[in-house]
């Protein structure tokens, strides 16, 4: 049983429901970060502990031991917190999730995070971290989701991320990474979501992407990567969302006739040429197609079987012929041809 004051059973006899060590750690964190929206007149496991639960909350579990409850989730979003991430986070041995999104952290990420045996989700989206991704991240072997989007991290994407074998989601978008993606990422065979857009990473689109058989979402917009897509890409049959823009893929549209799971297919400004493939019409789950700003020629094929298509962008190609009648049978649909 987890989460709130009203759920507590075995800890109900204790005047303080949360482990006192963890209460002290929260008080220290509040002092360091100048947090004034936690009410320490209440037990931190109380639903009312945080004055504004939309942006800050503590979740507890009271089933871990018979004496005290323990913090399992800490999130503090959009509260302008700055400086170092507090090392006292290492006191919460039952912690599974840390969300510190859209603050102004710009200091260090503490080594104590590597001592958390149950940490699976770490989110530092929209802060001001600089320099390389710190080594401590590679030591949190339990991580399943790592989101570092919209910071100022730079240097190469570190190879030690390949040691995080449980990762299902890795979001590194909108930083200042450069260089090639490390081959070690190919070992992350549990990945379902990888985003690297808005970085200056270079080199060929890596062949190890073909190892990501569980991939559902792949974003590589606005990088310095070069095509073509590796041959094994066609084996990513679970892929639902592909966003690749503003890079030189070149050549004709890839032979992806076996990829039937697409919902979002975005290959904008990728130097693609030749005719639009008819097999896109067999991707019947598509909701958005954006193939604009390429060099496609010829007419628009019959894609009438795409029953849920909401948006079709084909502008700035060299297409000819009439607008196909099947487009008018889809309502609503936004299209730019």
The candidate with the shortest Cα–Cα distance to 252, out of 236, 265, 270, 268, is 270
Distance between alpha carbon 260 and the CA centroid of its chain, in Å?
Answer: 23
> What backbone torsions phi and psi does residue 201 show, to the nearest 5 degrees?
-65, 150
Domain spans of the chain, in order of start: 250-259+267-337
Q: What pLDDT is recorded for position 191?
A: 99
Query: How does strand 56-61 pair with strand 70-76?
Result: antiparallel
* pLDDT range class, residue 12, cuts 50, 70, 90: very low
Q: Cβ of 9: how many Cβ atoms within 10 Å?
A: 10
Could you tell me if 97 and 121 are in contact, meaning their C-beta atoms sit under 8 angstroms apart?
Answer: yes
CA-to-CA dists, residue 335 to 188, 279, 313, angstroms: 37, 19, 6
Q: What pLDDT is recorded for position 297?
A: 98
Q: What pLDDT is recorded for position 101?
A: 98
Q: Cβ of 307: how many Cβ atoms within 10 Å?
A: 10
Q: What is the pLDDT of residues 19-63, one digit of tens each?
A: 999 999 999 999 999 999 999 999 999 989 998 888 999 999 998
Q: What is the pLDDT of residues 114-137, one digit of tens each?
A: 999 999 999 999 999 999 999 999
- Helix or strand or coil: residue 107? coil
CA-to-CA dists, residue 122 to 18, 33, 73, 149, 175, angstroms: 22, 18, 10, 11, 17
Q: What is the pLDDT of residues 140-183, one digit of tens each?
A: 999 999 999 999 999 999 999 999 999 999 999 999 999 999 99
Q: How buried is 324 (Cβ within 10 angstroms: 0-12 exposed, 13-18 middle, 19+ buried)?
A: middle
What is the number of alpha carbons within 13 Å of residue 89 lying toward its C-beta?
29
The candidate with the shortest Cα–Cα distance to 138, out of 171, 155, 162, 122, is 162
Q: How buried is 7 (Cβ within 10 angstroms: 0-12 exposed, 13-18 middle, 19+ buried)?
A: middle
Provide the whole-model pTM: 0.92
Q: What is the pLDDT of residues 222-259, one digit of tens each?
A: 999 999 999 999 999 999 999 999 999 999 999 999 99
3-state helix, strand, coil in the chain (%, to 5): 20, 25, 55
* pLDDT range class, residue 332, cuts 50, 70, 90: low
Q: What pLDDT is recorded for position 54?
A: 87
Q: What pLDDT is recorded for position 336?
A: 76
Q: Where are the alpha helices (DSSP H) in the chain?
A: 20-33, 135-138
Output the furthest CA–CA distance in the chain (Å, rounded).
78
Q: What is the pLDDT of residues 59-79, one digit of tens each?
A: 999 988 889 999 999 999 999
CA-to-CA dists, residue 88 to 22, 26, 140, angstroms: 9, 8, 16
- Helix or strand or coil: residue 121? strand
Q: What pLDDT is recorded for position 66?
A: 83
Copy the structure tokens of residue 273. 């040429």
Q: How buried is 231 (Cβ within 10 angstroms: 0-12 exposed, 13-18 middle, 19+ buried)?
A: exposed
Q: What pLDDT is recorded for position 6?
A: 34
Q: What is the pLDDT of residues 265-315, one digit of tens each?
A: 999 999 999 999 999 999 999 999 999 999 999 999 999 999 889 999 999
If you count them, how many residues does the chain have? 337
Return the residue matching tokens 């209440």.
Answer: 42
Q: What pLDDT is recorded for position 7?
A: 38
Q: Where are the alpha helices (DSSP H) in 133-204?
A: 135-138
The residues, ordered by sequence, that sit 6+ positions from 141 with a Cβ below 8 Å of its Cβ are 163, 164, 165, 166
Q: Cβ of 158: how many Cβ atoms within 10 Å?
A: 19
* CATH number belonging to domain 250-259+267-337: 3.80.10.10
99/324: higher pLDDT: 99
What percent of the chain stands above pLDDT 90?
86
In whole angstroms, give the CA distance from residue 40 to residue 57: 13
As a whole number of Å, the CA-based R_g of the chain is 24
Q: What pLDDT is recorded for position 23?
A: 96
Is the pLDDT assigned to residue 82 strictly greater than 70?
yes
Q: What pLDDT is recorded for position 331?
A: 66
In whole angstroms, give the CA distance from residue 61 to residue 74: 12
């Amino acid at each position: 049983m987890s989460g709130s004051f009203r759920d507590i059973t075995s800890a109900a006899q204790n005047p303080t429901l949360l482990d006192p060590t963890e209460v002290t750690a929260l008080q220290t964190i509040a002092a360091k970060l100048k947090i004034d929206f936690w009410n320490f007149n209440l037990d931190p496991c109380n639903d009312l502990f945080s004055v504004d639960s939309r942006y800050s909350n503590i979740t507890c579990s009271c089933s871990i031991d018979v004496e005290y409850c323990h913090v399992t989730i800490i999130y503090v979003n959009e509260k302008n917190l700055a400086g170092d991430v507090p090392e006292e986070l290492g006191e919460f041995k039952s912690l599974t999730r840390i969300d510190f999104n859209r603050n102004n952290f710009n200091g260090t990420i503490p080594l104590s995070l590597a001592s958390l045996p149950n940490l699976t989700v770490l989110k530092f989206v929209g802060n001001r971290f600089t320099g390389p991704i710190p080594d401590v991240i590679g030591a949190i072997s339990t991580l399943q989701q790592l989101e570092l989007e919209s910071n100022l991290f730079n240097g190469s994407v570190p190879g030690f991320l390949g040691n995080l074998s449980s990762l299902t989601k890795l979001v590194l978008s909108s930083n200042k990474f450069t260089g090639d993606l490390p081959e070690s990422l190919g070992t992350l065979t549990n990945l379902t979501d990888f985003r690297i857009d808005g970085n200056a990473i270079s080199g060929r689109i890596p062949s190890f992407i073909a190892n990501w058989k569980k991939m559902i979402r792949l974003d590589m917009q606005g990088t310095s990567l070069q095509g073509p897509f590796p041959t094994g890409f066609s084996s990513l049959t679970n892929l639902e969302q592909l966003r690749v823009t503003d890079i030189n893929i070149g050549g004709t549209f890839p032979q992806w006739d076996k990829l039937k799971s697409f919902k979002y297919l975005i290959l904008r400004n990728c130097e693609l040429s030749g005719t639009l493939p008819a097999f896109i019409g067999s991707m019947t789950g598509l909701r958005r197609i954006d193939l604009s700003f390429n060099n496609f020629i010829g007419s628009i094929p019959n894609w009438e079987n795409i029953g849920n298509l909401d948006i079709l962008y084909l502008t700035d190609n060299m297409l000819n012929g009439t607008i196909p009648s099947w487009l008018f049978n889809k309502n609503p649909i936004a299209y730019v041809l």
